[in-house]
Structure 1
């Protein structure tokens, strides 16, 4: 008991009043107020509506016509004041910090930290602060004497400390990355005179619900029409530039671009999607129908795809007349039909469909057909094992497919190598699709989204190493030209059919958040329209980015990049994190995402992102080495890359390096744990521990394995499936390992982590497992996302910084 008393006394001795010169005061606000908010039934709402103004970086603001300015609290000499008063100060923490904020002299008040209201008794608030920058707002409604007001922080332990700062810059936070407004949809009119943009954001008030606004704007970026309540979707513009059509609450609406009059074209369109004008008077769309729900006790699987919940949903194509509202079916039967493109001048549609409804193949066949509307006749253009997309151009057809398309027409590989058909290639079908020309054999980037201009040239979004830029393919000159958009990652783009093609595109860079730009293709000129950086990241320090490539032992250059904490002291040793995917695509350079490299660096970690062998975007030979490897080259590249990284960045502590990855990257984390002890802590999210069970149980397991394990099956290559499965080598694991999985994951079922957890527990290894209830392969919900991000950082803080308090506060000791 005496020890406890002494401990309490020592912590109390660490407490001291906060420096009032670093606390800002404003008020009195509305000093003639008859009743304070707490004296009304709407007090919380009144305070919440004021909070945003108090949190802003403005030095002053006006309330009921009177200007108020922030000033240091130590300059205030007053007794009781009318209306409301507020205090604001910034706290910096360098680790997870707990303690009590005690406020004396304020009888009625509320405390908010980073916008969240804190609960407390007798003006004592128990705080748990993540490593980072924090803004504290204290709203005072009743104070007897401001000269008696003091604030103090009492730490929970000797290691808990806060630093008050008057510096307006702050470190990057999880809330900024998730809540910031982002362009989630955009569409440019054919004449380039209007565009639509849909913006989504989040807030503490709305929690997991998005705040969505869709606006129609003119060339001066002025809003001419706004949707705020029910949100429209499926936008399409009439070719004659008179109308904008959209889907809203199951109804297809037509907006007159001149008068803004709205007409309902059709109702009851649940299950309809992909609307596009065929000509000025008719609209093409897909209409899906799912089987009726039954109370059957059994489900008879009719094929491999029946593992998918939507496998028996059939989608057909329809044509709607905008004048009469009459709709006619263009396709029918048990096979789903997907519109690839339409050409009203030819009177034809380009359509893809599976050869069979339920196919027992690792490479299901796709049939490309052409429908002539006048005769309602269908002509088959071919059946292909690899196919992604098709579009008309002049008298011919562009196709995006893997290297093996049309008997290997796109291959630039040695005969002994198997192609990776996730590596998209561009083709031209001519002579009624009888002849194929491979257009991208000498073009290393992987072809992604394809759109065709009126002159037959193509706009192509590609994967080029760890970037996703736009290229223009000049059909007449048969060459690719990169468009200088200023983005590392082009997220979305829309284009006009004007003589000088205009582009509307959103994107970001590794160290700069999302922007919206207009791009003139012929002039190669870009104009910034909207920028989230000053909106969501003002006065925020963004970690520094450095390129770091190395040459592996096979003589191949492996790309990578390193994120450095701001103002890092290179005379000291720092912990590091190594991130990778290792699957068939690179880790791209987006500013944020599910794995926030900038946030990790802001929390004091040097972050190395490596792009190991097997990814697309580096050429066919590089990507083909993903086939039948299951980590062979990838593991070597990660280990060699980490060694090269540590050699160059000598301020990284070799004994404090963590590694993590997700999905295939989660598989790599488990596999690496069986191969090396160079890492001090590891995290595998949604990882694969047993290739056979993933192949047989994951919704897409057998399909992905069709490339990753091409021609290899458990019965003809058991060594691949067993010896490359981490669980078969679980006894070799020495690194502490955290397994994270959504319990509703259909891609990589949660059993993959449970299998590895069971093995490591029985082997008495250092392993933890966290399941997210109701989460699938990715974690989207705001509350789960913050918890997930915190879980990963808390685990690494425990293992790499010797700071277990955050982890213990979340999951106990």
Structure 2
């Protein structure tokens, strides 16, 4: 043999040895065995009658088919020690903890198939890929975060070694649920026990993966996106009932389920649910006792229904209205004002003459007009037409007039639009122009019909709403409130010396006071304005941010959604006379029951101009002052602050849950 050949053989042997060593090193993983379990059951799960007969496909109903059948919705399982789960009939099952590397399940007998569930929580401190191995001589299906990752459809034979269920999973930081549905096969003599382990690369410390029977966890994306939320609220005029719209995502799709519920104000008890029915929209309480209205739509158009809460009777007041937009009840319940869109037909040629700069926008030529429909006879009258859209502002307390606005483009000055407010007499159709202004917001009548409550920018009525040094330009997105006297034409800028920005006003017919939700730095709070005393008072709502809010017309009662920076949204009821606030409904209580949040601290500083800059710090739930953490700094330089609302577009709690 030549030296050259010897060198080649030696080199080949060296490469082979190195290759084998590298393979050995790659398989040198760390193993973490599950020793903390939660178990549910077992319960008897007999085969159905006639299981021995073949179906049209020539197959019998076998024990593996029994394994696949779900006796309840697994997606609703949230294992926790001593938590009860409804089983078949009146039987209640309870999750029990067991600490052992081999989970032993005591069968009820050895004659009947039985089903049980085993669960464990995996907490990962980092992104990782793990290999799961679950051994069980009996049948099983294995789920990880609700997704089926493997199954074993037959029990071990006497001679055959247990066939393990194996899966490779990419795990993100956070807490995850491993759920095993297992079925006892009476023909299998092996003990009913489960062993499970996770293998991870040696480069990842074993302490970065932990198994537990405790489902407490930090906030995750599912908590942010998939939990139910209350998207709208409406309290009845007498304050006895509350209608709320529940919105819930339907993962893994990007679709949502929306449904309406009517609950009793006094205790939140459910009175009626519209879940699973045709989708309804624009629910409104009628001024008439126990009646409400809503819309349904199909290919023919929109139908407006009036229904009685007590009797269930309903009638269709409007049918098949094309391009229906919105509606409002008259205070006495004898008619409604609604708007519908007239769509401008598309040109027959590709050449289009622009009627102005906004004509570049799709749908700009469409116009909204107002109509009246009487209740209960359904007779209708068209109220407006012309070149420009007419938008309803309010109906007078006596039902004799309406307020509506026409907005026109004006590129000569900001905000490049002016609004003209009109009053229309519903008997004579006589029209009166009240003003043409910039920066107009909402306009509502006072309870006695002699004044108007307006929101708008500081510049809406000239300098009367501006409280700034000479030469300083006001922020016209800092919404103010005004009272306008219809007889004297005088404007009272009631929030001139009130720093918060007005969001939603309500002039209560029940007590004559005005209630505002207003943005105060990073808080959104509820305030009371006493018209006679000309004083503001902040109302304690147990919330840092108020979202949707609804007021009763005839009682000093309200219902609202509120949250803290580190407490999810909940629905509260408040007695405006006593100031007492109570929890009304917590739609996501079960979903957030095991979520642990970190503390949030207010943090402000003075900039070089001497201004106080409002801020806050979100800490990880397991914050340790002796450690260093990466920090995300979020600042916003817009015209309105980023409030302390929970979740939202920039989910600070989620960032903190990941160790920032």
**TM-score tier (shorter):** 0.7 to 0.9
Q: Which one is further off, 501-510 or 31-40?
A: 31-40
One of 140, 150, 154 as aligned partner of 2:182: 140
Cα distance in structure 2, aligned partners of 1:373 and 1:387? 24
TM superposition shift of 1:39: 5.5
Change (3 A) 1:258 1:28: closer
TM superposition shift of 1:556: 1.1
- Is residue 332 of structure 1 aligned with residue 385 of structure 2? yes
Cα distance in structure 1, aligned partners of 2:535 and 2:42? 68
Q: 2:313 matched to which residue of 1?
A: 261
What's the secondary structure of 1:505's corresponding residue?
strand
1:543-578 deviation line (CA, Å, top 9, x unaligned): 111111111111111111001012212212111101
One of 74, 85, 94 as aligned partner of 2:116: 85
The question of whether the paired residues in 1 share the 8 Å contact of 2:67 and 2:140 is answered with no
The question of whether the paired residues in 1 share the 8 Å contact of 2:415 and 2:439 is answered with no
Q: Which has the higher contact order (CA 8 A, sep 6+)?
A: 2
1:47-91 deviation line (CA, Å, top 9, x unaligned): 772453464664454534474653425361769883323221011
What's the secondary structure of 1:589's corresponding residue?
coil
Q: 1:276 matched to which residue of 2?
A: 328
- Is residue 241 of structure 1 aligned with residue 256 of structure 2? no
The question of whether the paired residues in 1 share the 8 Å contact of 2:424 and 2:432 is answered with yes
Q: 1:623 matched to which residue of 2?
A: none
Q: 1:768 matched to which residue of 2?
A: none
One of 71, 86, 104 as aligned partner of 1:76: 104
- Is residue 517 of structure 1 aligned with residue 517 of structure 2? no
Q: 2:618 matched to which residue of 1?
A: 563
- Is residue 452 of structure 1 aligned with residue 499 of structure 2? no
Q: 2:56 matched to which residue of 1?
A: none
Q: 2:169 matched to which residue of 1?
A: 127
Q: 2:420 matched to which residue of 1?
A: 367
What's the secondary structure of 1:535's corresponding residue?
helix
What's the secondary structure of 1:319's corresponding residue?
strand
TM-score with structure 2 length normalisation?
0.84
Equivalence map 1:460-479=2 (5 Å): 460-479=516-535
Cα RMSD, aligned residues only:
2.9
- Is residue 28 of structure 1 aligned with residue 28 of structure 2? no
1:571-613 deviation line (CA, Å, top 9, x unaligned): 12111101122211111111111211111101000xxxxxxxx
The question of whether the paired residues in 2 share the 8 Å contact of 1:37 and 1:44 is answered with no
Cα distance in structure 1, aligned partners of 2:19 and 2:639? 57
What's the secondary structure of 1:554's corresponding residue?
coil
Cα distance in structure 2, aligned partners of 1:42 and 1:318? 60
TM-score with structure 1 length normalisation?
0.69
Cα distance in structure 2, aligned partners of 1:242 and 1:9? 76
Cα distance in structure 1, aligned partners of 2:342 and 2:45? 63
Structure 1 gaps of 5+ residues are 606-813
The question of whether the paired residues in 1 share the 8 Å contact of 2:80 and 2:215 is answered with no
Cα distance in structure 1, aligned partners of 2:62 and 2:440? 65
One of 596, 605, 621 as aligned partner of 1:541: 596
Cα distance in structure 2, aligned partners of 1:84 and 1:479? 67
Structure with the higher helix share, 1 or 2: 1
Change (3 A) 1:377 1:77: closer
TM superposition shift of 1:207: 2.9
What's the secondary structure of 1:487's corresponding residue?
coil
TM superposition shift of 1:355: 3.3
TM superposition shift of 1:344: 4.3
1:636-682 deviation line (CA, Å, top 9, x unaligned): xxxxxxxxxxxxxxxxxxxxxxxxxxxxxxxxxxxxxxxxxxxxxxx
- Is residue 232 of structure 1 aligned with residue 263 of structure 2? no
Q: Which one is further off, 389-398 or 64-73?
A: 64-73
1:765-795 deviation line (CA, Å, top 9, x unaligned): xxxxxxxxxxxxxxxxxxxxxxxxxxxxxxx
Structure 2 gaps of 5+ residues are 1-15, 52-59, 153-163
Q: 1:99 matched to which residue of 2?
A: 130
Cα distance in structure 1, aligned partners of 2:61 and 2:474? 69
Asked which structure has the greater CA Rg, the reply is 2
Q: 1:197 matched to which residue of 2?
A: 244
- Is residue 492 of structure 1 aligned with residue 539 of structure 2? no
Equivalence map 1:9-24=2 (5 Å): 9-16=24-31, 18-19=33-34, 21-24=35-38
TM superposition shift of 1:336: 0.9
Cα distance in structure 2, aligned partners of 1:478 and 1:237? 31
Q: 1:574 matched to which residue of 2?
A: 629
Cα distance in structure 1, aligned partners of 2:343 and 2:623? 56
Equivalence map 1:121-200=2 (5 Å): 123-141=165-183, 145-146=190-191, 149-156=194-201, 158-159=203-204, 161-200=208-247
Change (3 A) 1:31 1:232: closer
Equivalence map 1:664-683=2 (5 Å): none
Q: 1:316 matched to which residue of 2?
A: 369
The question of whether the paired residues in 2 share the 8 Å contact of 1:196 and 1:215 is answered with yes
Q: 1:600 matched to which residue of 2?
A: 655
Cα distance in structure 1, aligned partners of 2:79 and 2:250? 14
Cα distance in structure 1, aligned partners of 2:103 and 2:531? 72
Cα distance in structure 1, aligned partners of 2:601 and 2:611? 20
Cα distance in structure 2, aligned partners of 1:37 and 1:171? 43
One of 101, 106, 110 as aligned partner of 2:141: 110
TM superposition shift of 1:95: 1.0
Q: 1:483 matched to which residue of 2?
A: 539
TM superposition shift of 1:194: 1.6
- Is residue 527 of structure 1 aligned with residue 582 of structure 2? yes
The question of whether the paired residues in 1 share the 8 Å contact of 2:28 and 2:202 is answered with no
What's the secondary structure of 1:524's corresponding residue?
coil
What's the secondary structure of 2:320's corresponding residue?
coil
TM superposition shift of 1:491: 0.8
Q: 1:297 matched to which residue of 2?
A: 350
Equivalence map 1:353-752=2 (5 Å): 353-355=406-408, 362-393=415-446, 394=448, 395-432=450-487, 434-454=489-509, 456-498=512-554, 500-532=555-587, 534-605=589-660
Change (3 A) 1:462 1:527: same
TM superposition shift of 1:222: 2.3
1:311-331 deviation line (CA, Å, top 9, x unaligned): 222111111112221221111
Q: Which one is further off, 50-59 or 168-177?
A: 50-59
The question of whether the paired residues in 2 share the 8 Å contact of 1:381 and 1:432 is answered with no
The question of whether the paired residues in 1 share the 8 Å contact of 2:105 and 2:193 is answered with no
What's the secondary structure of 2:225's corresponding residue?
helix
The question of whether the paired residues in 2 share the 8 Å contact of 1:549 and 1:557 is answered with yes
Structure with the higher strand share, 1 or 2: 2
Cα distance in structure 1, aligned partners of 2:62 and 2:78? 18
